[in-house]
Structure 1
Amino acid sequence: MAEKDIQKHIYISGRVQGVGFRAFCRSTARTLGIKGWVRNLRDGRVELVIQGQPAKVEKMVENVKEGPSFARVEDIEIKNEECEDFRKFEIRL
């Protein structure tokens, strides 16, 4: 029996805008089969909502903690949430 999907709401701060962070998240999510979205916030953070199988979500979190090569993640805040009905992963503006 497959594990039930989980959802996490994540805020990432540091040098995370203008370094390909959103595209990195989209690529990683597609590779792992994660659904949800990512967007830049006006305060310089990146907001990310991810949903999928627990092991894949944890793998995504580990990837996000590192980020793409030009990023520098200084802090990450993670909250568990009830699952929404996402169909894919997208970059939001």
Structure 2
Amino acid sequence: MLSYTCVVEGKVTGGNFQSWVQSTAQLLGLKGWVRNVADRKAEILLQGDAAKFTAFREHLLAEAPIVDRGEITCNTIEYDKVFDVFEIRG
């Protein structure tokens, strides 16, 4: 399945970043997950149509609650699993 991944650098722990990602993805009808992968870094996997992903990315860049935001990198990937919901993975 065509999916999208974003890696976000900045203070993404101790705030409401993951819940913001989940509610924004759900609002746009996207499926997938968000998780912290390192100190000051989170990974997001999204599944849905390209227009919804573009809208999510615009919200992420403009509105996400990230303190000391660093680089945000988003790419299209092939992913073999299809998700039914959007979840927080810790």
* TM-score of the aligned structures, taking structure 2 as reference length: 0.85
Matched, 1:42 2:38: yes
1:80 alignment partner, SS class = strand
Q: How does 1:13-92 map to 2 (within 5 A)?
A: 13-66=9-62, 67-68=64-65, 71-72=66-67, 73-83=69-79, 84-92=81-89
Unmatched 5+ stretches in structure 1: none
CA–CA distance in structure 1, aligned partners of residues 76 and 50 of structure 2: 11
2:18 alignment partner, SS class = helix
RMSD of Structure 2 on Structure 1 (CA) = 1.6
Deviations 1:63-90 (A, max 9, x none): 112302xx23321111211243111100
- TM-superposed CA distance for 1:18, in Å, is 1.6
Unmatched 5+ stretches in structure 2: none
Q: Which moved more, 1:74-83 or 1:30-39?
A: 74-83
CA–CA distance in structure 2, aligned partners of residues 40 and 18 of structure 1: 11
- TM-superposed CA distance for 1:6, in Å, is 4.0
